């Protein structure tokens, strides 16, 4: 999608009446909205370089699906794709079973570059300077195992389920090692997803439900 087209979608979003909920008809439409919000974010900041994860998303998941890798889209993009209200998040987070399982030649040929490896995470950058993070933390394995397959441009994308995302967000929100602002956002994401998918609460433990009801 061109920057002009993305800005057109952004203007459409901003012109909607107050309180109206955006309900994408498909993963493709949700990605368009997400990419448009990225562009609007950079535009409002006055950034010299305006990036969008639109192309990086398409290229990355085409490659991952072709490789047969076990993975799950997690993080802010996954939350957005399960939610009716638009939000922006600039990076793409993917849970994998091990870093060694990640195909490297194909992403590199498509313009992705690995920047650094840390315990349980690899940081890459993709087309449009889109940040991509692969996480192989064993604590995230359940996100892969419960991932839902969503149709996307003739193929599929594996996205962590709403219940798994809520559980992971609650786990992150209770981690004292995380910055308070991050924990605040994690809890807000969990609450928002649980409101959007009421069936999720039945799949939580008593401790998780108590945390979910904690006042911000």
* Tokens 């991050």 sit on residue: 182
> 216: pLDDT confidence band, cut at 50, 70 and 90?
low
* Mean pLDDT of the region 60-76: 95
> Mean pLDDT lowest for which of 22-26, 70-74, 158-162?
22-26
- Cα–Cα distance for residue pair 40/11, rounded to 1 Å: 9
DSSP assignment of 114-162 equals EEEEETTEEEEEEGGGEEEEEE--GGGHHHHHTPEEEEETTEEEEE--H
Contact at 8 Å (CB) between 123 and 48?
no
> 46: pLDDT confidence band, cut at 50, 70 and 90?
confident
- Cα–Cα distance for residue pair 15/97, rounded to 1 Å: 42
Residue 145 corresponds to which tokens in the numbers above? 């195992």
**Domains and their CATH numbers in the chain:** 3-160 (3.30.460), 161-216 (no CATH)
Check residue 38 and give its pLDDT.
76
pTM for this prediction: 0.84
């Amino acid at each position: 999608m061109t920057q002009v087209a993305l800005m057109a979608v952004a203007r459409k979003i901003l012109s909607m009446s107050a309180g109206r909920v955006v309900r994408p008809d498909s993963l493709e439409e949700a990605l368009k909205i997400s990419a448009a919000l990225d562009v609007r974010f950079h535009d409002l900041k006055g950034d010299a370089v305006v990036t969008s994860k639109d192309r990086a998303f398409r290229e990355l998941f085409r490659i991952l699906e072709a490789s047969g890798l076990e993975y799950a889209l997690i993080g802010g993009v996954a939350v957005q794709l399960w939610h009716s209200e638009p939000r922006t998040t600039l990076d793409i987070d993917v849970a994998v079973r091990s870093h060694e399982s990640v195909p490297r030649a194909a992403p590199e040929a498509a313009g992705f570059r690995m920047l650094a490896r840390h315990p349980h995470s690899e940081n890459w950058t993709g087309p449009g300077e889109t940040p991509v993070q692969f996480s192989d933390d064993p604590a995230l394995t359940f996100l892969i195992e419960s991932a839902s397959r969503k149709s996307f441009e003739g193929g599929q994308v594996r996205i962590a389920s709403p219940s798994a995302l809520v559980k992971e967000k609650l786990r992150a929100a209770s981690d004292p090692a995380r910055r308070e602002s991050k924990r605040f956002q994690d809890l807000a994401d969990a609450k928002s997803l649980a409101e959007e998918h009421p069936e999720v609460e039945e799949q939580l433990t008593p401790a998780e439900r108590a945390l979910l009801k904690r006042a911000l």
